[in-house]
Amino acid sequence: MKKLAITLVVNDTEHELLVAPNRTLAQVLREDLGLTGTKQGCQVGDCGSCTVLLDDEPVNSCLVLAAQVTGRRVRTIEGVADGNRLHPIQEAMVEHGAIQCGFCSPGMILSAKSLLEKNPDPSNGDIRQALSGNLCRCTGYQKIVEAVADAAQKMGRA
């Protein structure tokens, strides 16, 4: 199978890659770039564990072909913290006990980040809607919603 040359910016670093046309963004992130924070769950777009930000919008990276993202910006969970300093959403998730197994956490955090960048003062309904594409089997959702609301407050005061 002929490979395609693509260029994408992942977490502010440009990458030039040769990829098979059927490779997903999730596969390229995990296998080619070693960014294993992007999880592969259902691989059909139902669970949200593979959520990344594509040009600041949450997408299921298991449904996006890598060739479709050439020239675009991708943010993974590895690009959320500022060095060793966690992002306020990450801090709030830990403080509220909203992270258990951690499988859904990267997608939840990226979905929440996208929401708070657009709406710095979301209602609980707004938060639930923004996270509706991400499934969690451990915490239930209340702690996650509380963490995102707390992060919004803290970010608004910063």
Cα end-to-end distance, the chain, whole Å: 51
Q: Can you say whether the dihedral through the CA atoms of 69, 25, 106, 148 is positive or negative?
A: positive
Instruction: Report CA-CA distances (Å) from 18 to 1, 3, 66, 71.
Output: 12, 6, 10, 14
Give mean pLDDT, residues 122-134.
97
Burial of 21 (0-12, 13-18, 19+ CB in 10 A): exposed
In CATH terms, the fold of domain 4-79 is Ubiquitin-like (UB roll) (3.10.20)
Residue 158: pLDDT band with limits 50, 70, 90:
low
In CATH, the number for domain 88-157 is 1.10.150.120
Place of tokens 């070693």: 34
The single residue listed with the structure tokens 């600041």 is 56
CA–CA distance, 79 with 149 (Å, rounded to integer):
21
pLDDT given for residue 156 in this prediction: 86
Determine what percent of the chain is predicted with pLDDT higher than 90.
93
Q: Please give the single-letter amino acid code of residue 26.
A: A
Q: Where are the domains of the chain?
A: 4-79, 88-157
pLDDT recorded at residue 4: 96
What helix, strand, coil percent values describe the chain, rounded to 5? 40, 20, 45
Per the listing, tokens 């670093």 go with 13
Three-state helix/strand/coil letters over 73-122:
EEECHHHCCECCECCHHHHHHHHCCCCCCCCCHHHHHHHHHHHHHHCCCC
27-85 pLDDT tens trace: 999 999 999 999 999 999 999 999 999 999 999 999 999 999 999 999 999 999 999 99
